[in-house]
Amino acid sequence: MELETVVVKKEDGIATILLNRPERLNAISGELIRDVCEAVDYVGGDNEVRVVVLTGAGRAFCAGGDFRYSDVRSGKVSAREAEDVRGVQQPGGLGYGQGRVLSALHRRVIRGLIELEKPSIAMVNGDAVGGGFEFTLACDIRVASDKARVGVGFTRIGLSPGQGMPWLLPRIVGLGHALEFILLADFWSAQEAYRIGIMNRVVPADKLESETMAMARRLADGPPAALRLSKTQIYFGLGMDLNAGLAFSGASEALTLMTQDHLEGIQAFAQKRKPVYKDR
């Protein structure tokens, strides 16, 4: 597929969604959020795709909302004119209504990544800030360059997070860390993010792609139905009590017991060979 600000590549069951505004540190413009939304929908509906990798072009993963700070600093525009995403109530601005539409698209991206019926990996090549940091949280696994940083940023500029971060972050790092991170809006190194559980792995910058793709290949070679139901159990389980969770878990296992891939897994293990799963 062809998009203006996002590149989608497919190879051997792995789809890579590349945020492609490196001159703006992949900051979220109206066009970019629409393109990301379309890309997530596309890979979600492609049966050839078994795993999705989300990353950024250049030296940043995503710098968050596209505020034109340099133009404010130089006096070219006012603070009210500086944001390209939500819009403002003024001539030439996107307008409040258009801002609401773009905010809804951002939420659709977050929901789309979480509800993907296939694993997703955020390959965090550089700074992931604000809405860009929310993109990483919505992915199932996060692998970061040792040079990357993460930051919330919202309260620094008088905003409250609006696209699900207060729901996502406490579930990943716990209440105390989430409150500190969101309220103080500090930047944290990849190593600190790993320490508190935001990042699954931190690797040298020159090995980020190879390490991430090795993980993606393992997932792409895995049993699709088992991975789908495992992911669904985990996310749905966040809102279930114990009895509902046990019932859902039992039903999911029963479904996978009836698949050809389960039989292939047993046969391959017995024969000491790599299984070939066909999503059947």
Q: Which of 157, 111, 104 is nearest to 135 (CA)?
A: 111
* Residue located via tokens 């059947």: 280
In order of start, what are the domains of the chain with their CATH numbers?
A: 6-220 (3.90.226.10), 224-271 (1.10.12)
> Residues 193, 152, 209, CA angle at the centre, nearest 5°?
50
CA 189 to chain centre: 18
Q: What is the pLDDT of residue 66?
A: 78
What is the structure's pLDDT at 74?
54
Predicted pLDDT at 1:
79
* pLDDT of 89: 35
- The percent helix, strand, coil of the chain (3-state, each to 5) is 50, 15, 30
What was the pLDDT predicted at 86? Answer: 43
**What pLDDT is stored for residue 155 in this prediction?**
86
In the prediction, which pLDDT does 138 show? 96
- pLDDT value, residue 137: 96
pLDDT at 80: 53
Which residues of the chain register pLDDT less than 50? 69, 72-73, 77, 84-98
> What is the identity of the amino acid at 195?
R
How far apart are the C-alpha atoms of 102 and 156, rounded to whole Å? 21
What pLDDT score was predicted for residue 156?
84
Residues 81-127 have pLDDT tens digits of 555 444 433 334 444 444 556 678 889 999 999 999 999 999 999 99
